[in-house]
Amino acid sequence: MRMTDTLVISPASSGIRGDMTLPGDKSISHRAVMFAAIARGDSHIHNFSGGGDNRSTIRAFQTLGVEITQTGTDVLVKGRGWEGLHAPGETIDCGNSGTTMRLLSGLLAGRPFASRLDGDASLRSRPMGRVMAPLREMGADILSEGGENRAPLRINGQSLHGILYQSPVASAQVKSAILLAGLQGRGITRVQEPVRSRDHTERMLPAFGGRLQVSGTEVTIAGGQELHACEVEVPGDLSSAAFFLGAALIVPGSELYVRGIGLNPTRTGVLEVFQAMGASITILHPREVCGEPVGDLLVRSSILRGIEIEGELIVRAIDEVPIIAVVAAFARGTTVIRGAQELRVKESDRLHALATTLLALGARVSELPDGLVIEGGGLQGGRVQSFDDHRIAMALSVAGLAATDKIVLEGIACVDISFPGFYGLVRDLTGTTRPDP
């Protein structure tokens, strides 16, 4: 199938049925490369995510002098400790990856050389102040060349010291950037969040020999630590799986088995949302891999009902709001999403993008300052755009599988950022996507 930037998605009249394994978790893949790069020894990473964001992280550390080779989904990182990082001879290109830029800011703030971080137009538009502020409290010299705390960022490495930081937002990227800075600084660093954000950093660091303490929503780490190499098996990405779970729920006659998915409790908000809506999702064969809970999922098409989603649950399902919104459009009754204002500063203003596209497909949607109100009842066909946002594109693709008529979706190239094989899997499971002639 020749892939253009526009795709026609037709209703999946025979349902979505199959047995699938998904690429490695994107967030865990980022951290595995970063920790391996500053550890001593050779680290082997298996089932590495192949998305553009993760490739940006690999390229960033190669620019810093770390030897990294990738064969398929296996990655070998030859770490030489903190001293193995060298002043980059060029600007470090973070591409579209906010995770790469924000976590690298914390890591490079304590290294004894200057570096410059930049990215594409989308990344340049995203706020970096929430990371810059605590790093400056730790002694970092970090400057926004883009103004208004936007990229490009120039970092002059300094000796850092520990702080107590009470974060106004629950953000795994902010927390991880501070912990990476604290890992190499003097004294003790503590990060407190209003609610607990994703904890992949806290779970993975001990595997590399890092020492930290977790108490409720507070993480404490001591400076002056060295890491050692280890072997990492990356579980399947739940955020990627969510699109297929949502499709199986709303396309009649579906039954889908998904193997080896990461079930970290800070990430399973989307499963709880779907189950609260009445979804038939069963977790099978629970196990633990490299400190992360993993399991298989069996999902069947279900009659769903609208619910209210807010508070701590939104924090744990923030990346999955686009697919939740699409699923809500097929539920009975009203779904209210609140506390999701962070979505306005992602790759697009996702709240506005969802309201605009769902309205164009016949939904009754109201846009709130921090969320959406969605009246269920189904979607029609139509022509919509992705706003060059990979999660919006994938969510709208799922909408096309359950709509009453075909959807023509413009701007699908952005999906390669996080899930290069997405449309191949959709085709294999349904045979319902084709390039727009």
Would you name the residues annotated as active-site residues?
A: 319
Q: What is the DSSP letter of 201?
A: H
CA pair distance 309, 305, nearest whole angstrom: 12
What b-and-e string marks burial along 95-118, b requiring 16 or more CB atoms within 10 Å of the CB? bbbbbbbbbbbbbbbbbeeebbbb
Are 189 and 181 within 8 A, CB to CB? yes
CA pair distance 161, 327, nearest whole angstrom: 46
Instruction: Give the pair of three-digit tokens for residue 101.
Output: 């830029």
3-state SS class at 202: helix
Q: Which residue has the tokens 């995510």?
A: 49
Query: Between the CA of residue 223 and those of 47, 106, 177, 432, what are the distances in Å?
Result: 31, 13, 14, 53
DSSP-assigned states of every residue in 102-149: HHHHHHHTTSSSEEEEE--HHHHTS--HHHHHHHHHTT-EEEETTSTT
CB atoms within 10 A of CB 26: 25
Are 191 and 170 within 8 A, CB to CB? no
CA pair distance 49, 47, nearest whole angstrom: 6
CA pair distance 161, 367, nearest whole angstrom: 43
3-state SS class at 214: strand
